[in-house]
Homo-oligomer: A and B are copies of this chain.
Amino acid sequence: MKKATIKDIALLAGVNPSTVSRALKDHPDISTDVREKIKAIATQLKYTPNLAAINLRSKNSKVIGLVIPDINMYFMPSVISGITQLLHQFGFNILVLNSQDNIEKETENIRICCNHGVDGILLSVTNQTTNYNHLQIAYEQEIPIVLFDKTIKQNVFDEVNINDSGAALQCANYLIDKHCKHVLLVLGNPQLKITKDRELAINKALNAKKIFTTPLYANNSMEAYSLTCTMLQNDLTIDGIFGMSDETMVGINAALYQNNKKIHTVVISDGQLPALMTPPMTYVKHDGYALGTLAAKVLLKHIQDSNYRAINQPYWIDTEIIQPTNNQQVNTQ
Protein backbone atom coordinates (compact mmCIF):
# COMPACT_ATOMS: atom_id res chain seq x y z
CA MET A 1 0.00 0.00 0.00
CA LYS A 2 1.26 3.40 -0.95
CA LYS A 3 1.56 6.32 1.39
CA ALA A 4 -1.85 7.92 1.99
CA THR A 5 -2.15 11.61 1.11
CA ILE A 6 -4.45 14.40 2.17
CA LYS A 7 -6.31 13.89 -1.07
CA ASP A 8 -7.05 10.27 -0.17
CA ILE A 9 -8.50 11.35 3.14
CA ALA A 10 -10.55 14.08 1.49
CA LEU A 11 -12.03 11.59 -0.95
CA LEU A 12 -13.11 9.23 1.78
CA ALA A 13 -14.46 12.02 3.96
CA GLY A 14 -16.27 13.65 1.07
CA VAL A 15 -14.62 17.00 1.71
CA ASN A 16 -12.02 19.22 0.07
CA PRO A 17 -8.30 18.56 0.61
CA SER A 18 -7.89 21.98 2.15
CA THR A 19 -10.47 21.10 4.78
CA VAL A 20 -8.44 18.03 5.67
CA SER A 21 -5.30 20.09 5.88
CA ARG A 22 -6.94 22.47 8.31
CA ALA A 23 -8.61 19.75 10.37
CA LEU A 24 -5.34 17.92 10.82
CA LYS A 25 -3.67 20.95 12.30
CA ASP A 26 -6.60 21.85 14.55
CA HIS A 27 -7.53 24.97 12.72
CA PRO A 28 -10.34 26.66 14.74
CA ASP A 29 -12.49 27.20 11.64
CA ILE A 30 -13.27 23.51 11.30
CA SER A 31 -16.28 22.16 13.19
CA THR A 32 -15.55 19.58 15.83
CA ASP A 33 -17.44 16.72 14.26
CA VAL A 34 -15.84 17.16 10.84
CA ARG A 35 -12.44 17.39 12.46
CA GLU A 36 -12.92 14.22 14.46
CA LYS A 37 -14.21 12.35 11.43
CA ILE A 38 -11.22 13.42 9.37
CA LYS A 39 -8.76 12.52 12.09
CA ALA A 40 -10.33 9.10 12.44
CA ILE A 41 -9.92 8.44 8.73
CA ALA A 42 -6.36 9.73 8.89
CA THR A 43 -5.30 7.27 11.57
CA GLN A 44 -7.22 4.51 9.87
CA LEU A 45 -5.33 5.18 6.64
CA LYS A 46 -2.14 5.51 8.67
CA TYR A 47 -1.58 8.90 7.15
CA THR A 48 1.84 10.48 7.60
CA PRO A 49 2.50 13.96 6.21
CA ASN A 50 4.87 14.28 3.28
CA LEU A 51 7.72 16.39 4.58
CA ALA A 52 9.13 16.89 1.11
CA ALA A 53 5.96 18.69 0.07
CA ILE A 54 5.86 20.75 3.24
CA ASN A 55 9.50 21.58 2.84
CA LEU A 56 8.95 22.66 -0.75
CA ARG A 57 6.23 25.07 0.28
CA SER A 58 7.59 26.35 3.55
CA LYS A 59 11.25 26.50 2.53
CA ASN A 60 12.50 25.10 5.77
CA SER A 61 13.30 21.48 6.17
CA LYS A 62 13.58 21.10 9.93
CA VAL A 63 16.77 19.20 9.18
CA ILE A 64 20.22 20.27 10.16
CA GLY A 65 23.42 18.90 8.67
CA LEU A 66 26.09 17.54 10.99
CA VAL A 67 29.42 17.37 9.16
CA ILE A 68 32.15 15.62 11.11
CA PRO A 69 35.61 14.31 10.28
CA ASP A 70 34.91 10.88 11.70
CA ILE A 71 32.57 9.19 14.15
CA ASN A 72 34.97 6.57 15.32
CA MET A 73 36.37 8.35 18.33
CA TYR A 74 35.94 8.58 22.03
CA PHE A 75 34.63 12.09 22.08
CA MET A 76 32.26 12.47 19.14
CA PRO A 77 29.50 10.11 20.29
CA SER A 78 28.67 12.17 23.36
CA VAL A 79 28.85 15.38 21.35
CA ILE A 80 26.39 13.92 18.86
CA SER A 81 24.15 12.81 21.72
CA GLY A 82 24.08 16.35 23.06
CA ILE A 83 23.30 17.81 19.65
CA THR A 84 20.50 15.39 18.80
CA GLN A 85 19.01 15.60 22.26
CA LEU A 86 18.65 19.37 22.13
CA LEU A 87 17.63 19.74 18.50
CA HIS A 88 15.02 17.04 18.87
CA GLN A 89 13.18 19.21 21.39
CA PHE A 90 12.77 21.82 18.69
CA GLY A 91 11.60 19.35 16.08
CA PHE A 92 14.82 19.16 14.13
CA ASN A 93 16.37 16.02 12.74
CA ILE A 94 19.97 15.38 11.90
CA LEU A 95 21.59 14.43 8.64
CA VAL A 96 24.99 13.03 9.57
CA LEU A 97 27.73 13.45 6.97
CA ASN A 98 31.07 11.78 7.61
CA SER A 99 34.01 13.45 5.89
CA GLN A 100 36.38 10.58 6.60
CA ASP A 101 39.08 13.11 7.36
CA ASN A 102 39.14 14.15 3.74
CA ILE A 103 38.72 17.73 2.56
CA GLU A 104 37.07 16.76 -0.72
CA LYS A 105 34.50 14.70 1.15
CA GLU A 106 33.93 17.63 3.45
CA THR A 107 33.35 19.97 0.52
CA GLU A 108 30.90 17.52 -0.99
CA ASN A 109 29.13 17.16 2.34
CA ILE A 110 28.57 20.90 2.52
CA ARG A 111 27.08 20.74 -0.95
CA ILE A 112 24.82 17.87 0.06
CA CYS A 113 23.59 20.01 2.92
CA CYS A 114 22.70 22.75 0.45
CA ASN A 115 20.92 20.31 -1.84
CA HIS A 116 18.87 19.01 1.05
CA GLY A 117 17.99 22.54 2.03
CA VAL A 118 19.07 22.06 5.61
CA ASP A 119 18.17 24.86 7.99
CA GLY A 120 21.67 24.95 9.44
CA ILE A 121 25.04 23.23 9.54
CA LEU A 122 27.17 22.09 12.44
CA LEU A 123 30.72 21.56 11.27
CA SER A 124 33.80 19.98 12.77
CA VAL A 125 36.60 20.06 10.22
CA THR A 126 39.06 17.45 8.97
CA ASN A 127 42.79 17.44 9.58
CA GLN A 128 43.24 18.59 5.98
CA THR A 129 41.07 21.69 6.22
CA THR A 130 43.13 24.88 6.11
CA ASN A 131 40.52 27.46 5.11
CA TYR A 132 36.80 27.97 4.76
CA ASN A 133 36.48 28.62 1.02
CA HIS A 134 34.36 25.53 0.59
CA LEU A 135 31.73 26.97 2.91
CA GLN A 136 30.95 29.78 0.50
CA ILE A 137 28.06 27.95 -1.22
CA ALA A 138 26.27 27.52 2.08
CA TYR A 139 27.12 31.03 3.18
CA GLU A 140 25.64 32.57 0.04
CA GLN A 141 22.44 30.60 0.47
CA GLU A 142 22.25 32.10 3.93
CA ILE A 143 22.46 28.75 5.66
CA PRO A 144 23.81 29.41 9.16
CA ILE A 145 26.96 27.52 10.10
CA VAL A 146 28.38 26.89 13.56
CA LEU A 147 31.81 25.34 14.03
CA PHE A 148 32.63 23.08 16.94
CA ASP A 149 35.47 21.07 18.43
CA LYS A 150 37.83 20.78 15.47
CA THR A 151 38.11 24.29 14.10
CA ILE A 152 40.61 26.57 12.45
CA LYS A 153 41.14 30.25 12.96
CA GLN A 154 38.53 32.58 11.45
CA ASN A 155 36.13 35.35 12.41
CA VAL A 156 33.07 34.78 10.25
CA PHE A 157 31.25 31.94 11.96
CA ASP A 158 30.34 31.26 15.54
CA GLU A 159 32.46 28.63 17.16
CA VAL A 160 31.96 26.37 20.18
CA ASN A 161 34.87 24.71 21.90
CA ILE A 162 36.24 23.14 24.98
CA ASN A 163 38.26 25.66 26.97
CA ASP A 164 41.46 23.90 25.99
CA SER A 165 43.87 26.29 27.62
CA GLY A 166 41.91 26.20 30.84
CA ALA A 167 41.84 22.43 30.87
CA ALA A 168 45.56 22.19 30.25
CA LEU A 169 46.17 24.70 32.99
CA GLN A 170 44.18 22.59 35.45
CA CYS A 171 46.34 19.62 34.50
CA ALA A 172 49.49 21.66 34.98
CA ASN A 173 48.41 22.76 38.45
CA TYR A 174 47.81 19.16 39.44
CA LEU A 175 51.29 18.13 38.36
CA ILE A 176 52.80 21.17 40.05
CA ASP A 177 51.04 20.19 43.27
CA LYS A 178 52.65 16.78 43.02
CA HIS A 179 56.09 18.39 42.76
CA CYS A 180 56.89 16.86 39.39
CA LYS A 181 60.17 17.85 37.78
CA HIS A 182 59.97 16.26 34.33
CA VAL A 183 56.61 15.80 32.66
CA LEU A 184 55.95 13.67 29.60
CA LEU A 185 53.31 15.25 27.34
CA VAL A 186 51.44 12.61 25.38
CA LEU A 187 49.71 14.54 22.58
CA GLY A 188 47.64 13.89 19.47
CA ASN A 189 47.97 15.22 15.94
CA PRO A 190 50.17 18.34 16.12
CA GLN A 191 48.35 19.94 13.17
CA LEU A 192 45.14 20.50 15.09
CA LYS A 193 44.30 23.66 16.97
CA ILE A 194 43.15 21.54 19.89
CA THR A 195 46.60 19.94 20.19
CA LYS A 196 48.44 23.21 19.81
CA ASP A 197 46.29 25.00 22.37
CA ARG A 198 46.67 22.29 24.97
CA GLU A 199 50.38 21.84 24.41
CA LEU A 200 51.04 25.56 24.51
CA ALA A 201 49.06 26.13 27.70
CA ILE A 202 50.55 23.27 29.69
CA ASN A 203 54.05 24.04 28.52
CA LYS A 204 53.73 27.66 29.52
CA ALA A 205 52.38 26.82 32.97
CA LEU A 206 54.94 24.11 33.70
CA ASN A 207 57.91 26.00 32.32
CA ALA A 208 57.00 28.99 34.47
CA LYS A 209 57.68 26.69 37.42
CA LYS A 210 60.91 25.47 35.87
CA ILE A 211 59.40 22.06 35.19
CA PHE A 212 60.93 20.28 32.22
CA THR A 213 58.63 18.82 29.54
CA THR A 214 59.04 16.30 26.73
CA PRO A 215 56.34 16.20 24.03
CA LEU A 216 55.34 13.10 22.13
CA TYR A 217 52.80 12.88 19.29
CA ALA A 218 50.59 9.84 18.77
CA ASN A 219 47.73 9.35 16.32
CA ASN A 220 46.01 6.60 18.28
CA SER A 221 46.08 4.54 21.45
CA MET A 222 48.56 2.01 20.13
CA GLU A 223 51.04 4.68 19.12
CA ALA A 224 50.62 6.39 22.47
CA TYR A 225 51.31 3.07 24.15
CA SER A 226 54.47 2.20 22.30
CA LEU A 227 55.93 5.71 22.29
CA THR A 228 55.29 6.09 26.01
CA CYS A 229 56.89 2.70 26.66
CA THR A 230 60.03 3.76 24.86
CA MET A 231 60.21 7.03 26.74
CA LEU A 232 59.70 5.41 30.13
CA GLN A 233 62.44 2.91 29.41
CA ASN A 234 64.93 5.46 28.12
CA ASP A 235 64.39 8.36 30.47
CA LEU A 236 64.15 7.53 34.13
CA THR A 237 63.76 11.16 35.20
CA ILE A 238 60.12 11.31 34.07
CA ASP A 239 57.97 11.76 37.18
CA GLY A 240 54.77 13.13 35.68
CA ILE A 241 52.60 12.40 32.63
CA PHE A 242 49.99 14.48 30.84
CA GLY A 243 47.63 12.80 28.35
CA MET A 244 45.55 15.11 26.21
CA SER A 245 42.71 12.69 25.43
CA ASP A 246 41.02 9.35 26.08
CA GLU A 247 43.00 7.78 23.25
CA THR A 248 46.31 8.76 24.75
CA MET A 249 45.11 7.80 28.24
CA VAL A 250 44.47 4.19 27.32
CA GLY A 251 47.95 3.96 25.85
CA ILE A 252 49.55 5.61 28.86
CA ASN A 253 47.74 3.28 31.23
CA ALA A 254 48.98 0.22 29.36
CA ALA A 255 52.54 1.56 29.23
CA LEU A 256 52.63 2.27 32.97
CA TYR A 257 51.37 -1.21 33.70
CA GLN A 258 53.77 -2.85 31.30
CA ASN A 259 56.76 -1.10 32.79
CA ASN A 260 55.44 -1.48 36.31
CA LYS A 261 55.68 2.25 36.96
CA LYS A 262 53.66 4.45 39.24
CA ILE A 263 53.91 8.01 37.99
CA HIS A 264 51.61 10.97 38.63
CA THR A 265 49.35 11.12 35.62
CA VAL A 266 46.57 13.45 34.60
CA VAL A 267 44.54 13.37 31.41
CA ILE A 268 41.80 15.33 29.68
CA SER A 269 38.82 13.06 29.19
CA ASP A 270 35.14 13.02 28.48
CA GLY A 271 33.84 10.27 30.64
CA GLN A 272 33.88 7.48 33.12
CA LEU A 273 36.74 5.66 31.43
CA PRO A 274 39.45 7.20 33.67
CA ALA A 275 37.66 5.83 36.74
CA LEU A 276 38.01 2.37 35.26
CA MET A 277 41.70 2.56 34.48
CA THR A 278 44.02 0.61 36.73
CA PRO A 279 44.53 2.40 39.00
CA PRO A 280 41.79 4.98 38.42
CA MET A 281 43.22 8.11 36.85
CA THR A 282 42.90 11.73 37.75
CA TYR A 283 41.33 13.59 34.87
CA VAL A 284 40.08 16.97 33.77
CA LYS A 285 36.56 16.40 32.58
CA HIS A 286 35.52 18.07 29.37
CA ASP A 287 31.87 17.56 28.75
CA GLY A 288 31.19 16.49 25.17
CA TYR A 289 27.49 16.35 25.78
CA ALA A 290 27.50 19.95 26.99
CA LEU A 291 29.58 20.96 23.99
CA GLY A 292 27.04 19.40 21.64
CA THR A 293 24.15 21.03 23.44
CA LEU A 294 25.75 24.46 23.34
CA ALA A 295 26.69 24.19 19.67
CA ALA A 296 23.10 23.25 18.87
CA LYS A 297 21.78 26.17 20.92
CA VAL A 298 24.00 28.66 19.13
CA LEU A 299 22.92 27.28 15.76
CA LEU A 300 19.28 27.56 16.81
CA LYS A 301 19.75 31.25 17.57
CA HIS A 302 20.98 31.81 14.03
CA ILE A 303 18.12 29.82 12.56
CA GLN A 304 15.44 31.55 14.58
CA ASP A 305 16.81 35.05 14.07
CA SER A 306 18.44 35.71 10.73
CA ASN A 307 19.67 39.06 12.00
CA TYR A 308 21.66 37.38 14.74
CA ARG A 309 25.34 37.83 13.98
CA ALA A 310 28.35 35.78 14.99
CA ILE A 311 30.15 37.11 18.04
CA ASN A 312 33.83 37.56 17.56
CA GLN A 313 35.02 35.00 20.06
CA PRO A 314 34.46 31.32 20.70
CA TYR A 315 31.83 29.98 23.05
CA TRP A 316 33.53 27.89 25.70
CA ILE A 317 32.74 24.84 27.74
CA ASP A 318 34.68 24.95 30.98
CA THR A 319 36.26 21.89 32.53
CA GLU A 320 36.78 20.59 36.05
CA ILE A 321 39.34 18.31 37.60
CA ILE A 322 38.10 14.97 38.95
CA GLN A 323 40.23 12.97 41.35
CA PRO A 324 39.43 9.35 42.11
CA THR A 325 38.13 9.07 45.66
CA ASN A 326 39.19 6.16 47.79
CA ASN A 327 35.57 5.25 48.08
CA GLN A 328 35.30 5.02 44.32
CA GLN A 329 38.31 2.79 44.00
CA VAL A 330 37.38 0.24 46.62
CA ASN A 331 33.68 -0.02 46.39
CA THR A 332 31.01 1.53 44.23
CA GLN A 333 28.21 -0.58 45.64
A residues adjacent to B (C-beta < 8 A): 1-3, 46, 48-53, 55-56, 61, 63, 70-74, 76-78, 80-81, 84-85, 88, 93-98, 100, 111-112, 114-117, 136-137, 140-142, 220-222, 225-226, 229-230, 250-251, 253-254, 257-258, 271-273, 275-280, 329-333
CB within 8 Å for A72 and B78 given contacts A141-B1, A278-B253: yes
Contact present for B51 and A53 (CB under 8 Å): no
Chain B: minimal CB distance from A161 (Å): 20
| Contact residues in B for A115 (Cβ distance below 8 Å) | 48-51
Contact present for B48 and A333 (CB under 8 Å): no
Contact present for B96 and A333 (CB under 8 Å): no
Contact present for B84 and A93 (CB under 8 Å): no
Contact of A71 among B80, B250, B253 (CB under 8 A): B80
CB within 8 Å for A51 and B116 given contacts A1-B141, A77-B77: yes
Other A-B pairs, 4, CB within 8 Å; known A56-B56, A70-B81, A278-B278: A85-B98, A85-B100, A93-B116, A221-B276
Chain B: minimal CB distance from A145 (Å): 15
Assembled-state Cα–Cα distance A288/B169 (Å): 37
| Contact residues in B for A88 (Cβ distance below 8 Å) | 98
Assembled-state Cα–Cα distance A78/B76 (Å): 12
| Contact residues in B for A97 (Cβ distance below 8 Å) | 84, 93
Contact present for A140 and B46 (CB under 8 Å): yes
| Contact residues in B for A81 (Cβ distance below 8 Å) | 70-72, 98
